[in-house]
Structure 1
Amino acid sequence: MAQRQFEFPKVGLLIPVVVVLLILFAKSTVTVGPGEGGVIFETLGEGINTEKTYGEGFHIVAPWNKMIVRKVRQQSISDEMNVLSVNGLEVKVNGTIWYEPEFENLGSLIKTKGEDYERELLDPAINAAARSVVGRYTPEQLYSSKRDVIEQEILDEVTKLLEGQFLTVKRVLVEDVKLPPTIKQAIERKLKQEQESLEYEFRLVTAQKEAEKVIIDAKGKAESNRILSASLTDKILQDKGIEATVKLSESPNSKIIVIGSGDSGMPIILGNQ
């Protein structure tokens, strides 16, 4: 009995120790999900450790440190910006930009720009690039024919602004350009008139080409007849007539009577049935 009384206190002390160890272990484990990366914030050190980025999977971290997990796959944000065209007209541009943090430099990105680096870094760069590029064009160009060019120019501008900032922009899409209703209607009327003018011009060109074709065909036929007429003599015509008469006389559906000859020397055929 004395031995049992001596063991019970040991068991009672072991349980709290196990509980504490389990809590410390739970606080020391971090799972980085698909498409994510993690960096360590060293509470007793110099803050963000910029030397290593942790990839997907299960990781053990000292309980006094913190793992900051952020998405490192390609992401997108959309925004509507009020910008001025080249003639000072205010337009609204709806756009989407695709970007991704540099995985190896995630620690440097968070250390220099904070965890909310999209708001601190990406938003100002997009707005500055959009204002710079859109300000080069007229409302008509923005509304119709320059969309692809504008997207590429904004991408180039954003890339320059973010150079060396550990954030890569992949693509820019200008989804919509909103103009004041009166300006939009004026542009649409002008575009419609231009389209109708092009259609009318096309019909004129087509008609002219058809007329030229008819003239060429007529000239060709006239020249052919002139050459044929020049080559036909009375002797040739007489021989052709005799050949035709012979073929007609051989037809089973005809009865032919030849009496004398005509003024041209050709036989006179009577009695066709």
Structure 2
Amino acid sequence: MRCAARPGGGARSVFRGGIPVFVLSILLLVAAVVLFFVARGQSSGGWKLGAALSALAGVLAGVFACVHVVSAYEVGVPVTFGKVGSPLTSGIHFRSPFTDVTSFSTRPVDLDLHDKDVVEVRSSQGGVLYADVTIKWAVVPANAVELYRLAGNEEAIQSRLVMPDSREIIRNVFAKHTSEEGYASARERIGSEIDSLIKQRLAPRGIDVAAVNLRNVRPSEQLQEQIDKKIQQQQATERAVEAARTAKAEAERKRIEAEGIASANRIIAKSLSDKVLYNQCLDAYREAAKSHPVYAVPCGTNANGSPVIVDGTKN
């Protein structure tokens, strides 16, 4: 039994000990026969016991060479002299010692496209983005034989089928969206579209995609510089618009104020007559006489204005 690490977690088992164990079984049986004939010419019972033990070990080794155990959550694909047989489900199976069984795990495998495997995509505007994606996939037991013919083992299924198809779909989906949609406004919609298309692509091949998680999207350095410049331009434009709005509001306020003053002056000009002015003059000097003595003042609109005696006790 040989165990190798599975990409993304788990393990897969490939039984390749059938032929060596079968050869060992033949050698033990031959040894048992030899010991048996040697024991016939000897009086000691040790040779007979050795022959019996060799025969028993040979039989057990032969049985072991014909038995293969498929672990839980695995499916095995038997190959005998280049001919692929029906898939083996979990449990004990008897097979020819010349049969090689390749096992595939049916548990979901995580394919992480990040770091050196990050997907470089281009938006509809030509901007470069980097997408970190995790794809959970598993082998459908009924399609294990077809996948074996296509790839050969789990590592090959992932590297030849799951990874290239997924990367192609991710690039195609991002190419339909702008850079801003890719890293901000439409990430959820893009992730859902990628999930749907990958499932549709891999399902007919016998690969069950449980989920596609678009974990992170970041712009390239060049695109980030363009984004920063655009933000600065937008901020400058907003400040200019606000300044223009403020200046316009101030000009409107001054216009309204000037119109109000002009209107008031017109009203005052129409309402002022000689008698009104004469009366206002009397009121003004009457108020002034309360704190400073006033003897006589001319009031009127011209030099003919009559003097007014404010305090009659003084000349």
Tell me the TM-score range normalised by the shorter chain: 0.5 to 0.7
Query: Using the alignment, how far apart are the partners of 2:171 and 2:68 within structure 1?
Result: 42
Query: In the comparison of the two structures, how many residue pairs are matched?
Result: 191
For 1:116-265, list aligned pairs within 5 A: 116-181=156-221, 183-184=223-224, 187=227
Q: 1:66 aligns with which of 79, 92, 100?
A: 100
Q: Secondary structure at the match of 1:18?
A: helix
What TM-score do the two structures reach when normalised by structure 2? Answer: 0.53
Query: Using the alignment, how far apart are the partners of 1:118 and 1:75 within structure 2?
Result: 9
Q: What corresponds to 1:112 in structure 2?
A: 150
Q: Secondary structure at the match of 1:164?
A: helix
Is 1:36 aligned to 2:74, yes or no? yes
One-letter amino acid of the counterpart of residue 152, structure 1:
S
Tell which structure's C-alpha radius of gyration is larger: 2
One-letter amino acid of the counterpart of residue 71, structure 1:
S
> Structure 1, residues 16-48: CA drift from partner, whole Å, max 9, x if none?
3222223233333333223211121122xx522
One-letter amino acid of the counterpart of residue 73, structure 1:
R
Q: What corresponds to 1:88 in structure 2?
A: 126
Note the aligned Cα RMSD (angstroms): 3.0
> Structure 1, residues 160-201: CA drift from partner, whole Å, max 9, x if none?
3325211122221111112124533664797896xx99xxxx
Structure 2, unmatched stretches of 5+, are 1-39, 240-315
Structure 1 residues 100 and 188, CA gap change in structure 2 (3 angstroms): farther
Query: Using the alignment, how far apart are the partners of 1:38 and 1:119 within structure 2?
Result: 20
Is 1:49 aligned to 2:85, yes or no? yes
Structure 1, unmatched stretches of 5+, are 198-273
Query: Using the alignment, how far apart are the partners of 2:159 and 2:56 within structure 1?
Result: 44
Query: Using the alignment, how far apart are the partners of 1:3 and 1:157 within structure 2?
Result: 78
Query: Using the alignment, how far apart are the partners of 1:107 and 1:55 within structure 2?
Result: 12
Q: Secondary structure at the match of 1:162?
A: helix
Is the Cα–Cα contact under 8 Å of residues 143 and 177 in structure 1 kept in the other structure?
yes
What TM-score do the two structures reach when normalised by structure 1? Answer: 0.60
C-alpha displacement at 1:4, in angstroms? 7.3
Is the Cα–Cα contact under 8 Å of residues 113 and 120 in structure 1 kept in the other structure?
yes
Structure 1 residues 25 and 189, CA gap change in structure 2 (3 angstroms): farther
Query: Using the alignment, how far apart are the partners of 1:140 and 1:188 within structure 2?
Result: 12
Q: Secondary structure at the match of 1:121?
A: helix
Q: What corresponds to 1:266 in structure 2?
A: none
Q: Percent identity?
A: 21
Is the Cα–Cα contact under 8 Å of residues 36 and 56 in structure 1 kept in the other structure?
yes
